[in-house]
A and B are shown apart, each in its own frame.
Chain A
Amino acid sequence: MRRRLAGISLLGVLALTAAACGNSGGGGGGGGGTQPADGPVTITMWTRAATQAQSERLVQEYNKTHKNQVKLTVIPTDNYQPRIAAAAGAKQLPDVFAADVIFVPNYTSQGLFMDITDRVAKLPYKDGLAPSHMKLGTLDNRMYTLPHTLDLSVWFWNKDLYDKAGLDPEKGPKTLKEFAQHATTIDEKLGKDGKVHGTFFGGNCGGCYVFTFWPSVWAAGGQVMNAEGTQSLNDQPAMTDVFKIYRDLYEKKATGPTAKEEQGPTWTGFFPKGEIGVMPMPSTTLGLMPKDMKIGVTPIAGPDGGESTFVGGDSIGISATSKNADAAWEFLSWTVSDQAQVEVMAKNKDVLARTDLANNKYSAEDPRVVLINSLVAKGQTPYALRFGQTFNDPQGPWLRYAREAVFGDVSKLPQLNAEITKSLQQ
């Protein structure tokens, strides 16, 4: 009897182990399992929380109008890169996944995306696809991704606070110096009780710095890296002049006391509360602002003028391990079709993934959207193979550099800039 019991328990453990080991294809949003050829296919998709609203709208509309279905999983932005890495290592990537466009060169070089060159070539509107996203999704003349969402950095100003501070509510700043003046005025006039601040930025967030500070460098005609993305030019006057202006704002306490500690997750949360006069914001948040709030939108400028933007957002591709490539492509190509771009994206004031549709029936209703759409051609998306580990990673060299430049010891900058270059070349 005892022997039988022991035998049964051993068999049980083996069965459990086998089940645990063999369960890799099905659950967890993996890309495994082939679907029956004639039935509808459900593909899995991952996106990050930062662009969740746009992805959800696209998926909802697609699921409503198509036989094939998309099952969307939204992952917290901070954990997105590690989740992709872990899933790739375990060959558990979903059928399609969106990724921050600046990480795409690294992902393509790691072989995470499927080559879709031939499929893209057949799209009648392929020349209208957002050029910066297409450039970063191309490796050795092969294409791997399509633009998914576009998120541009622009300055938002609060017209009510401008009015109360005696500034012209209809005129936003045209230069970074003017931006600083406006922020200082609002802080001096309205910031006495500590609730209203002139401006705000993510002072402990590498990604926030590149998204909001770099456009001022580009607007002034400068560059932050060489074209190959292997050398940092952040020690050049074009960048250090921008840092100086923000440093001055922080020292005057016009930035809000927590700017130095802001790690990123909440940096866009203060403006909609009506607490900030003027600040750089992601264009995707325009549609999420309180309806009764009067907001002006203007391009980010350099210290003495010019205008530019960081063309961020997500690209999307089919994972290299997907077994549902055809169904995945059906969804991907639909997301950049006229129908999806105009009736889903433009209708919700989002920037379009296609430049040929920039002027459409919805964008014309709001001049701010027209302005944002027009910036796509003027902005930049920096290219570097080691972008994430250098600029976004909280332990990367860029955040140390930016924090010393704005809050700390500027004599350390040359050495820290060399660290950035070293990281880019790893």
Chain B
Amino acid sequence: MTLTINRTGRKAAHSAPSARWRSRKVQGWLYAAPTAVIVGVLFIAPLVLVVWMSLNRWPLLGQATFNAPANYTKIADNPLFVDAVFFTLKYTAITTVVLSAAALGLALLVQDRKPGIGFFRTAFFLPGAVGFAAAALLFYGMLNNDFGPIDPMLQSLGITDEPVKWIGTPNMALFSTITLVIWRFAGFNMLILLTGLQAIPTEVYEAARSDGANRWQVFTKITLPLLRPTLALMLILSVTGSLLAFDQFFVFTNGGPDNSTVSMVMVVYRDAFFRFDLGGAAALSVVLLVALVGLNTLMMRRLR
């Protein structure tokens, strides 16, 4: 009887961790399940569908017909897309440099806790609270030659003699769009950099100063190296956002003048919704996705 009890007791003692482990494993799966379902339904399934669409001639209504790799091979024959690739890269390069400089400048300006600094931080961040399409429409109205207030103001101050063609020439359209993007995003990027700046221990600065380092040396030898992970995050966000640029060009310049501000996503949109070539648009999206994943992997390795 004792033996039996002991045996049973030993068995129970032996199997308890395994049962608990199994139960924890099931629990783990259950905790992960909601996220897994969301990722599956909202990310994986659409991705698989887009890849499948890119391998088919996909009409608006009716049956799709398999035509791979026609949607991919015709991309090179699409001069609008080829031009859009170059334009988007140029836009990304300029925007990223200017935006980073502006955000870093703002972050350095407002990093110290001084009286009234909260006002400036809020003021710089405020444009980030405006929807991007709304901001693009706002700029369209402000800079409009017929009814915008900017031209009369500049003229009354004697800065310009006649209305400036803000979106009338390719260079001015790009300049105006970049100004819009900086206005809208500099404050948000400033916030990201501010968290990085405030994570740098004050002791490091004090040590540098007591060693006789001047402001420039402190900035280049202390601030920038220690800010590297935060700068990397900002760069990745900026590059990815710029390569996927759509709202600002769609609403503000409408791709003009003369197709000089057509971004890659605008070509995808045009192929899908104006030319009804859903398969071709899906192929462009897949190419864009692969390029973005590749570029981000590269950047993360370089900036780590």
Contacts and interface: CB of A to CB of B under 8 A. Distances in A.
B60 A85 contact: yes
B62 A261 contact: no
A110 B23 CA distance: 55
Contact of A13 (B37, B167, B255, B274): B37
B168 interface: yes
Nearest to A78: B254
Contacts of B163: 257
A3 B273 CA distance: 47
A6 interface: yes
Contact of A388 (B34, B60, B274): B274
Contact of A394 (B23, B60, B256, B272): B256
Given A82-B273, A257-B145, A257-B163, A394 B254 contact: yes
B146 A266 contact: yes
B172 to A, nearest CB: 11
B30 A3 contact: yes
B176 to A, nearest CB: 12
Contact of B276 (A110, A320, A400): A110
A60 interface: no
Given A81-B274, A388-B274, A13 B38 contact: yes
Interface string B267-279: 1011011111010
Contacts of A399: 258
Contact of A261 (B34, B38, B168, B266): B168
Given A110-B59, A389-B275, A17 B37 contact: yes
B37 A14 contact: yes
Given A3-B30, A10-B34, A112-B61, A17 B41 contact: yes
B286 interface: no
Nearest to B30: A6
Interface stretch (A86-94, A123-131, A327-335): A86-94
Scoring B26, B38, B270, B276 by chain A CB atoms within 10 A of each residue's CB, the highest score goes to B276
B27 A6 contact: yes
Interface string B197-208: 000000000000
Interface string A205-239: 00000000000000000000000000000000000
A261 B257 contact: yes
Interface in B260-290: 262, 266-267, 269-270, 272-276, 278
B228 interface: no
B273 A81 contact: yes
A318 to B, nearest CB: 14
Most buried by A among B62, B145, B258, B266: B258
Interface in B25-64: 26-27, 30-31, 33-34, 37-38, 41, 59-62
Interface of A: 2-3, 6-7, 9-10, 12-14, 17, 21, 81-82, 85-86, 88-89, 91, 106, 110-112, 204, 257-258, 260-261, 263, 266, 270, 320-321, 388-389, 393-396, 399-400, 403, 408, 426
Interface of B: 23, 26-27, 30-31, 33-34, 37-38, 41, 59-62, 80, 145-146, 162-163, 165, 167-168, 254-259, 262, 266-267, 269-270, 272-276, 278
